[in-house]
Structure 1
Amino acid sequence: MRLSQRQIDLFNAIMIHKSMTAAAAVLGTSQPTISREIREMERRIGFDLFLRFGKRLTPTNQAVLLHETVRRSFIGLDEISRAASAIRSHNAANFRIASIPAHAESVIPRVIQRFLHARPAVLFSIHSHEEPSLRHEMTTQAFDLSLTESQFEREGATTETIHVGDMVCVLPLEHPLAGKTMLTPSDFEGQPFIYFGQNDPYRHKLDEIFSAAGVTRDYAAETTTAASVCAMVAAGVGVSVINPLTAASQAPRNVAFRRLSVSVPYLLSIWRPAHSTRTARADKFVATLREVVAEMSETLQLALEPQAPHGVQANRNS
């Protein structure tokens, strides 16, 4: 069983425009022709794609599932078209970066802004995934750089790390603990806590710290990105501990950041293909990345000091 490209195009048009008449108008053909082609397509695949009620069409569950695959194939074709357009305009310097969301939402936008100021012709393509998915992406696709939290073996790649700083506590602005400069694990006893996902490496490190201190945190919520942690903290859902890059990108906003008495170093791992034609551009990007990380670290240090009201001394007990 093999479907023709025309049948796939017709099916996609019907799913998008919700009727054969509209699909026929878009594709410049007739409704009877589309109806005939779709019935032939159903015969080949062995199941109905649409329930027919007069002129009304309702996609079957099988059609919805099939269209998910068809839609992805059209997205791939769109990417090819965009690449061809870039090549035609002599602007094909596409620089592909794979990254976890924490970096894609914090440091990468600032690096790109600075990079493009000096090299405006570069086209950046950012692919953001949680780290387990990102590892797979790194092995199946060609990226010029990959930014992760963890170090792991990857064939045909070189790696380096940037020590960003320590993980920091994040609290609602009016939280009682926000009056302290530094928080200890015991300060979190009984506090509603926003956890990272089960696969997050820093969740495991924090769990070990609180467990060793005999501290029980109340479960408030669980999420996969530091940005969403900050959003929930700002909404008063609970407190948490996040990476310093996200903290720096959020500060100063509607949450408070404080030091944790136990050092939890946060590393940014950079993966590069061992053999690449874009080594010079990657070198420049990494150099810019290091500059921006250093600046964000300085910004965070200012945000880690509690801003007490005038005439009120902040509690500096740890």
Structure 2
Amino acid sequence: MNTIRCLLLAAAVALAASPALAQSVKIKQGMLNVPALSPLYLLPDEAKKQGIEIEMVMFQRFADARTALASGDIQITAFGPQDISLGLGAGAKSMVGVAGVGSGNDCLIVRKGEDIKNWKEVADKRIGIGAGSISWLKFAASVQENGLQYNKLKIVNIVGGGSNYLKALQGKEIDLAVVWHPFCAQAIVDGFGAYPTLDHNRSKTVGGLISVLAVNRPFMEKNPDVVQKLVNAYIGVLEIARKDTARWAKIYAEKAGLPENVAAESIRTTRLDPVMPLESIKRISKFLSDNGVITRDVSGEIAQSYTYDFLAKATGKSPEQLGLKQ
């Protein structure tokens, strides 16, 4: 009888320890309808394979996703490479960058038949911007790098979404829109816009970085194994999208409610890559403080808000290979 009891007890312990029967972890993922981030719509399916249930929470702006992550309302999200610096400047230390997303996505657009071939020509143009966006950051940094004074440019502040930039461009209120996809793609496909020769993604200060994947610090410290599984799943998601760009475009088209040709143009120049260039992020932080976007310089402490531990384990690469000194 004792033998039977021992066998039953052993079986119960084995069942309780079984990964297949273990209770899954439930988290919330912040999400935005941005072309470069659309592969992240696949993250819940990939994470589910590792026992993680994800509830997706949609946001209209990176700033809103940043606030939710900092407060712990969500546990993971992707947002601009400037967002952790902005949060840190305001005293929020609860966000940690764990992976990069890639380059591209931000774009400049002029009216079809027009062009801006070099930075000197910018001085005579009316420029539509949205201060604080990563596209604006790349543009403002490029302006300084090329010997122009930003405060002497003909800046037109555009309020609201990217469609307002296109209306201003069509209405000849501006000559250049400093914007992002899918809005550039819409202008191209609809036949009234063109990409200028000028490219602000080549900024030496900012680089072409689109976004970073970040987690809530208290959640990470309490659940490092879960964060590792999430980063593993994330690397798998990037690989899926890189290998099948048609699927990537279709996902974005469906989620954003856009024609597939607009979605395809939106992702055409985006390069997905998990590398996190820390030196570029430090330069972004310094630029933000130097230009009054944040009240103090956080470039000397920003490294504490990024970790390569999870990404290194997920990829088998060293922190140096993953952007520690880039």
Classify the TM-score, shorter chain: 0.3 to 0.5
Greater share of residues in strand:
1
Q: Which one has the largest radius of gyration?
A: 1
Q: TM-score, normalised by structure 1?
A: 0.47
Q: TM-score, normalised by structure 2?
A: 0.47
Q: Which has the higher contact order (CA 8 A, sep 6+)?
A: 2
